[in-house]
Amino acid sequence: MTSPAPAGTGPTEADWAAAVAAVRGLPATARVLLICHVNPDGDALGSMLGFGLGLRRLGVRQLQATFPGPPEVPESFRWLPGIELLVPQDEAYPDPDLVICFDAASESRLGDLVDRLAGSGAALVLDHHASNTRFGGIHLVDPHAAATSVVAEELLRRLGVALDAEIATGLYVALSTDTGSFRFEATTPAVHAMAGRLLATGIRPGEISRRIYDTRPFGAVRLFGEVLLRARLEPAAAAGHGLVWTYATRDDLARHDQPAYVLEALIDSVRCTAEADVACVVKQVSDREWAVSLRSKGAVDVSAVAVALGGGGHRFAAGFTGRGTVDEVVASIRAELSGALLAG
């Protein structure tokens, strides 16, 4: 167990040394399990698989990657190098020698895989959420990192693993998706410097971007049209900063014959609304359960709203699980926003 670093600061040298020792000290027969958060996004999958390929280069042979819930990877990520490391959660080593967790702020994001943390020899947590609850044994948590892949790249460097095109692809997808394709404020000089190192391996950013952002089935295009048409604008919400929101039901998905993950891209078409600082998409998970995505252009700290409603995330991108009807879920958001914690 490494001593906790003060909130807001990144890993200490002792944390890095402990992480390096945990990997370097593995016997040749060690079983290593990589896990990431439920409904994995580009950062969760890209960091996990890119790092996994790095472990392969180090000679780790017994290596699996998994995530909680149905073993369905969004179509836009199915081509990622290292995807062959993935196994359904039920087939993951029950008692691995080392668990490495990517992009999860808390155990609640790990579903049934929480038992693998308890059953493992050592648990290493790589993350960049300020709200990380430090649920492992060794923590590399850097709230200033734009993506978990920033932390993963640094650990690979300290392990002496050279970047190659396969490793770089996952790390690049992670960096690109968590910075909104290099558009968000998190896009620092350090982010571009890392992107430069990754591109120097020969990966093709145009091709990667087309696959992850600009490809979707026609059914999803029509579904988005329908869901966007029912968007509501509330200019007075969030103390006058404005709220725009919409929702999608399981019936909407069924009518257009689409899987739930296609809705992940929807928030980007909603949050461009000029008249609202806060954007919200409410996605039906089961009868009275909804996965809620929140975004802010900068005036409102939506992570505070999400945390108040049982979720988490970053200041300008957060989420939670809502219960009840759509109107009840949106009313709960409206209420939190009316006392809105304005972002400093």
Site residues (vs Mn ion, CB under 5 A): 41, 43-44, 103, 148, 178
C-beta separation of 247 from 280 below 8 A: no
**Least spacing, CB of residue 41 vs ligand AMP, in Å:** 6
**Least spacing, CB of residue 161 vs ligand AMP, in Å:** 26
**Least spacing, CB of residue 313 vs Mn ion, in Å:** 9
Alpha-carbon distances, residue 8 vs 18, 134, 270, 315 (angstroms): 20, 13, 30, 13
Using CB under 6 A, which of 314, 332, 333, 334 touches ligand AMP?
314
Q: Write out the H or E segment, with its range, that includes residue 293.
A: strand 289-296
User: Of the ranges 8-16, 116-124, 141-149, 310-318, which one interacts with ligand AMP (CB under 6 A)?
Assistant: 310-318
**Least spacing, CB of residue 260 vs Mn ion, in Å:** 16
User: Of the ranges 148-156, 184-192, 316-324, 334-342, which one interacts with ligand AMP (CB under 6 A)?
Assistant: 316-324
Identify what 313 binds: Mn ion, ligand AMP, none; CB under 5 to 8 Å per kind: ligand AMP
Torsion region of 148: left, alpha or beta (phi above 0 gives left; psi -120 to 50 gives alpha): alpha
C-beta separation of 80 from 46 below 8 A: yes
* Length reported for the chain: 344
User: Residue 319, interface with ligand AMP (CB under 6 A)?
Assistant: yes
Whole-number Å distance between alpha carbons of 316 and 325:
25
Using CB under 6 A, which of 155, 311, 330, 337 touches ligand AMP?
311
C-beta separation of 290 from 282 below 8 A: yes
Nearer to ligand AMP, 167 or 270 (CB): 270
C-beta separation of 274 from 261 below 8 A: no
Using CB under 6 A, which of 312, 329, 334, 340 touches ligand AMP?
312
Residue in the shown chain whose Cβ atom is closest to ligand AMP: 319
Using CB under 6 A, which of 313, 336, 337, 340 touches ligand AMP?
313
Nearest to 125 by CA among 235, 36, 63, 196: 36
